[in-house]
């Protein structure tokens, strides 16, 4: 049986992806900060789908965390067939006022450690000449994000990085897929400072995860869940950048205290 490693597996899209992997017969390696949530999820997956699990409590916003995850997997002599880089969080507000400490952690998590996990686990997949990587971007990968500047910048990095690596891997049997959801019913939408009404549509995490999982298995390069999200991203190509920035600034505006 193959192994899928899922970061940010304790909630939201990552939680749903873990369930989908287990349901489809993959053993799973579950990574997240909250050990109690991982234990409960692992117990449920083993009981319901008769697969093996490995939990790795880990905070990927810390510098050495990617290597620690890789070393644990190596010690267990496990070959990872599918890597799902899902872990992420968001910081809202004017860049001049937001916490640099939080934004630095976000950059570490969503660019540096995502890249490092990819670099660490990719050679094993290439050796087998099969496997796949699913990186979670956003519709924000395609636009600048006023009041959300660093988050959208990291998601833009993820899309560019993933598409480049996907091309490098053409013909190897290993694929890289970028899932770019829009508003999704996860903990992100519970942030008190977020203007939820700015979203045209909000999708269920389970539906987004299903679309992402199917795209991973099929080896697609980029997938945008939902017709409204697809139309938004498509329309951006025909709108001047300054207008897009102004629109996004209004859409992502922070609620007044």
CA angle 47, 219, 234 (to 5 degrees): 115
Q: Is 51 left (phi over 0), alpha (psi -120 to 50) or beta?
A: beta
CA 20 to the chain's CA centroid:
15
* 24: nearest Cα among 43, 54, 51, 42: 51
Q: Which residues are designated catalytic?
A: 151
CA distance 136 to 103: 18
Q: Which helix (H) or strand (E) holds 210?
A: helix 205-218
What's the rounded Cα separation, in Å, for the pair 33 and 36? 9
């Amino acid at each position: 049986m193959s192994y899928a490693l899922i970061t940010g597996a304790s909630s939201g899209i990552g939680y749903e992806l873990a369930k989908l992997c287990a349901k489809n017969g993959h053993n799973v390696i579950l990574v997240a900060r909250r050990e109690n949530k991982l234990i409960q999820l692992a117990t449920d997956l083993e009981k319901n789908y008769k697969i093996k699990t490995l939990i790795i409590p880990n905070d990927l916003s810390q510098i050495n965390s990617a290597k620690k995850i890789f070393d644990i997997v190596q010690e267990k002599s496990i070959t990872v067939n599918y890597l799902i880089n899902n872990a992420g969080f968001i910081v809202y507000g004017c860049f001049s006022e937001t916490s640099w400490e939080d934004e630095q952690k976000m950059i570490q998590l969503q660019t540096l450690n995502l890249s490092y996990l990819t670099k660490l686990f990719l050679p094993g997949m290439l050796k087998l000449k099969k496997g796949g990587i699913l990186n979670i971007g956003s519709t924000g990968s395609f636009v600048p994000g006023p009041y959300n500047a660093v988050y959208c910048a990291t998601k833009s990095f993820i899309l560019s990085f993933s598409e480049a690596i996907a091309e490098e891997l053409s013909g190897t049997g290993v694929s890289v897929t970028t899932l770019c959801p829009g508003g999704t019913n996860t903990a992100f939408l519970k942030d008190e400072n977020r203007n939820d009404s700015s979203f045209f549509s909000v999708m269920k995490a389970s539906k987004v995860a299903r679309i992402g999982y199917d795209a991973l298995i099929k080896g697609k390069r980029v997938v945008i869940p939902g017709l409204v999200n697809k139309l938004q991203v498509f329309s951006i190509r025909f709108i001047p950048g300054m207008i897009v920035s102004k629109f996004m600034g209004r859409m992502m505006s922070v609620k007044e205290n």
